Every structure is written in structure tokens, then in C-alpha cells.
Amino acid sequence: MRLISREPWWHVPPKPGQQEQDLHWGYLEIYADGSTVFVDQRPTAHELAERKSCATFPMPIRQRVQSSSADKRASNAAMRASKASRRSSEALLVARG
């Protein structure tokens, strides 16, 4: 199997209000055949800070109600940019393979 992607990933998605330092982190490896493997090895602080995936955390309900539509638009734009960046990175990995 040929590895096409390896990125920091949480083992279980966060609960509303949970902080990223409290999560169980590892790596998600994606292979050319479409299979995935979670590697139970904590990424470095630098890798976690630079990650492109698993970057959003759910807000507690209280904060969710108070957030403005401008915040939502900015968040949606950031998520779209992150997805586009990830797609271009994946295409580059496949092209190199």
C-alpha cells in the first residue's frame, strides 16, 4: 500500500467547549487504495499548530447563540479555504506518487 497522506487527527471529535490540548491526538494515514489508519502517536506541538484538518471545534451552546452572522461567514470562508488547500495538497501528493 502506498501512503498518500499523513496528517494530525483527533481520535474522537471534540465535544462542545472542549479544548484541543485535552484531546487524544494521532495521525490519520490515507493510502492509495482508499484505506485509512489512525496511528496512535501524538504529533508535535508544531504539527498540531500547522495542521490543515481537524481545525474547528464546536462552540458551547451559550456561545453559539451569541455568535453573529459575520462570524459565521468568516468561519465558512476559512473552512472553504482549508478544504481547497487540502484538495490541492492531495492532488500534489497523487501527482508525485
Instruction: Report d(CA 40, CA 29) in Å as an integer.
Output: 11
Q: How many CB atoms lie within 10 A of CB 88?
A: 10
Looking at residue 22, its pLDDT comes to 86
Looking at residue 58, its pLDDT comes to 55
Looking at residue 19, its pLDDT comes to 83
Residues 28-72: tens digit of each pLDDT: 999 999 999 999 999 998 998 888 877 665 555 454 444 455 556
Q: What's the predicted TM-score (pTM) here?
A: 0.55
Listed by start position, the domains of the chain span 3-96
Strand partners, 38: 28
Tell me which residue has cell 495542521. Answer: 51
Strand partners, 28: 7, 38
